[in-house]
Amino acid sequence: MSIKKYFSWLRRFPLFWKTKRFIKRLQGRELWLRPELHVPLHSIGFGDFCPDELGPASVIYSLGVGDDIIFDLAFMEYFGSDIHALTRHRSRSN
């Protein structure tokens, strides 16, 4: 087995990525980051959010919506709030 195929095979395992990240941190090429704040998350559809301070009077901006508004509709139904959905305009040539 060649080296290239061996590393390609290794990349399938989560331990490979953890080890690679650890070595990069030891070399100073990657930051040692730890979460400083843990918030309870709630999931609707395809996204997570922190529901503690959200309600019908909340102003919500959803960025990068594209053609899929399933999460936004579920969010509106769950909280009864308005959502301002924004996405990048694509020309026909793209």
Residue of higher predicted confidence among 23 and 54: 23
> Which pLDDT tens digit goes with each residue over 57-85?
988 898 888 888 888 888 888 888 889 98
Q: Could you tell me if 74 and 45 are in contact, meaning their C-beta atoms sit under 8 angstroms apart? A: yes
At residue 92, the pLDDT reads 66
Say how far apart CA 85 and CA 81 lie, in whole Å: 12
Say how far apart CA 62 and CA 81 lie, in whole Å: 12
Say how far apart CA 64 and CA 44 lie, in whole Å: 17
State the number of CA atoms in the 13 A half-sphere of 46 facing the CB: 8
Does residue 13 surpass a pLDDT of 80?
Answer: yes
Query: For the chain, which residues make up each domain, given as ranges?
Result: 1-34, 42-86
